[in-house]
């Protein structure tokens, strides 16, 4: 019984560590990036003078480094140090650099599409006087919706497995 509990505990602990690693990736990329870019993007859209603080520059650099090092760490884990792998390391560095640039550009695009959405909600909240009760009702509605879709997918998954069909 203790071995079973220990195995379950280790599995849960490992799953928790994986989840934490994923969350740290999101903080390093989206958290730093959005926080660092939002003010400048907002100013650009509203034709205001762009003022970039030292804090924002550091956050953007941290986001870029996060994108780059996340890829590097995954590649380093796969490397066996021999002459063929050295060539692969250089190729992978180039690929990771391009991937970092692409990811950062996606982040910039995300920030620009996020601005009108955030502004729209801000205006609705200010004009409608949305309070915490209203927000709680909206969150409850979204959670019920997610629960319904989850149950639907669970049923579809169980029915597909039962009938020998593989789901996507």
| Extents of the domains making up the chain | 2-130, 131-168
The upper half-sphere exposure of residue 80, i.e. CA atoms within 13 Å in the direction of its Cβ, equals 1
Beta strands (DSSP E) in the chain are none
pLDDT in tens, 97-133: 888 899 999 999 999 999 999 998 888 888 877 788 8
Indicate whether 163 pLDDT > 80: no
Cβ(22)–Cβ(66) below 8 Å: no
Higher pLDDT residue, 131 or 165? 131
* Residue 114 to residue 126: CA distance in whole angstroms: 18
Q: pLDDT category, 45, cuts 50, 70, 90?
A: very high
| For residues 144-154, average pLDDT | 92
Task: Give the pLDDT of residue 109.
Answer: 94
Rounded mean pLDDT of the chain? 82
């Amino acid at each position: 019984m203790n071995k079973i509990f220990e195995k379950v505990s280790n599995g849960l602990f490992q799953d928790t560590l994986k989840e934490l690693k994923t969350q740290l990736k999101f903080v390093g990329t989206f958290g730093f990036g959005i926080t660092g870019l939002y003010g400048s993007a907002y100013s650009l859209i509203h034709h205001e003078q762009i003022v970039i603080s030292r804090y924002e520059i550091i956050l953007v650099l941290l986001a870029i480094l996060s994108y780059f090092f996340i890829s590097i760490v995954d590649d380093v884990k796969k490397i066996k140090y021999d002459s063929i792998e050295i060539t692969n390391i250089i190729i992978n560095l180039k690929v990771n650099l391009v991937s970092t640039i692409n990811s950062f550009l996606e982040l910039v695009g995300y920030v620009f599409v996020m601005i009108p959405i955030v502004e729209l909600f801000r205006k609705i909240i200010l004009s409608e006087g949305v309070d915490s009760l209203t927000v709680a009702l909206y969150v409850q509605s979204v959670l019920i919706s997610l629960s319904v879709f989850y149950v639907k997918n669970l049923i579809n998954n169980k029915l597909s497995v039962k009938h020998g069909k593989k789901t996507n």
